[in-house]
Chain A
Amino acid sequence: MEGLEHPLAIVVLFNRLFSRPIAALLALIGVKVKDPANCVPDYVVMVLIVAVFLVVFLGLAARKRKMVPGKLQNVLELVIGFFESQLVEIIGPEGRKYLPMLGTVGLFIFCSNLLGLIPGFMSPTSKLNVTIGCALTVFIYYHYQGMRAQGVFNYLKHFMGPVPALAPLMIPIELISHFSRPVSLSIRLFSNIFAEDVLIVVIASIIPYFLPLPFMALSIFTGFLQAFIFVLLACIYISGAIAHEEESGGHEDSQAHAHA
């Protein structure tokens, strides 16, 4: 399916403007570019478009906040409240501090999924490169939050299982299950969006402009659902990583009461 696509107009325009300076900058670092007139792939341009759109749109909308919200502020408060309710429901009341990262990832994936439905654009999440990036970000983030919440050594000790004697059995199982998480996150998102794209192409080859419309409506729904599931699973992983904090907190309390 790689050679069947014709280049998108926006990508051609971006390459015509910026590709040679970028190729020259990369040559300074020592990376040799195969085709200096065309070195930025289409999904990088689309990621930049989504990022610029989100930053500009949300930045502009957050400027004038009123106590009685207008229409745009109402909708955005709904979105933020949706993410926040998910976090609080799964992690607990201290889950609010993870809202910036997970809200960003969720909004980025949702807008990337929808971008492919507009003619002249493609979904960056229909490439494995972008979805592996999102999954690795969540992976590194929840391990970092777990280590920050419990201390590095304490967090790594939980890989050994409930009883230290079981450690040689538990460590491979835990490692495999932890490494299967970014694999499953990335492949799930990539395959859903890519398969939807392929389906729309195949359907469009039957009756060009009218038959894909119900499938594009379905694609809006699955795009939202995949972003929601990505954020939901990230919340579950974070809650699993910081969960043991409450047990040790409970032990500390009981010890303090015993000494007092």
Chain B
Amino acid sequence: MNKKMKALGLLVFFAFVAAAPLLAQEAAGAGPSEAKASLYKLSIIVGGAIITLAAAAGAFCQAKAISSACEGISRNPGAAPHIRFLLLLGLILIETLVIYALLVTFIILMVKWGQYA
């Protein structure tokens, strides 16, 4: 009975802790936006260019990783689980950098540039 009360108390405590994001209520307000056509155009072009370059570089480097992994497995089929594990780890780490660039593109394309021009 004591153990159950302790477990229940812990559960209630963690339920309160898990609801802690409720304390982060956002402030209201956004400024008026002006029409700065050239800055908007430039930001769209730059945003598109960032993700294009990142995707091209990322695809090239992942292709190198995959080709080395395939060659390694073909030379030594017994090491296939280790090589597959290392390949997945390496691919995800390379893809992380492409995803960073995608995040920057999202931020650039979603900012209201009219506020800051």
Contact = CB atoms under 8 A, between A and B. Distances in A.
Interface of A: 1, 22, 26, 29, 31-34, 39-41, 43-44, 47-48, 51, 129, 133, 184, 187-188, 190-192, 194-195, 198, 225, 229, 232
Given A47-B18, A187-B100, A191-B100, 7 more contacts: A1-B110, A22-B22, A129-B21, A188-B96, A198-B106, A229-B88, A229-B92
Contacts of A232: 89
Max chain A Cβ within 10 angstroms of own Cβ: one of B21, B27, B89: B21
A154 to B, nearest CB: 29
B26 interface: yes
B110 to A, nearest CB: 6
B25 A31 contact: yes
B97 to A, nearest CB: 10
Max chain A Cβ within 10 angstroms of own Cβ: one of B92, B102, B106: B92
Interface string B9-41: 000000000110111111110000000000000
Interface of B is mostly: helix
A173 to B, nearest CB: 19
Contact of B99 (A41, A48, A133, A188): A188
Given A33-B25, A34-B25, A229-B92, A191 B102 contact: yes
A184 B96 contact: yes
* B-side interface size class: 20 to 34
Contacts of A191: 99-100, 102-103
Contacts of A129: 21, 24
B28 A44 contact: no
B63 to A, nearest CB: 19
Nearest to A228: B88
Contacts, number: 54
A44 B99 contact: no
Interface of A is mostly: helix
A34 B28 contact: yes
Interface of B: 18-19, 21-28, 88-89, 92, 96, 99-100, 102-103, 106, 110
Given A31-B23, A34-B26, A129-B21, A225 B92 contact: yes
B50 to A, nearest CB: 13
A195 B22 contact: no
A82 to B, nearest CB: 13
B19 A44 contact: yes
Contacts of B103: 187, 190-191
Contacts of A198: 106
Contact of A187 (B18, B28, B99, B110): B99
A76 B25 CA distance: 38
A39 B23 CA distance: 10
A184 B22 CA distance: 25
Contacts of A133: 21
Contacts of B18: 47-48, 51
Contacts of B106: 194-195, 198
B7 to A, nearest CB: 12
Nearest to A222: B95
Given A47-B18, A51-B18, A39 B25 contact: yes
Contacts of A225: 92
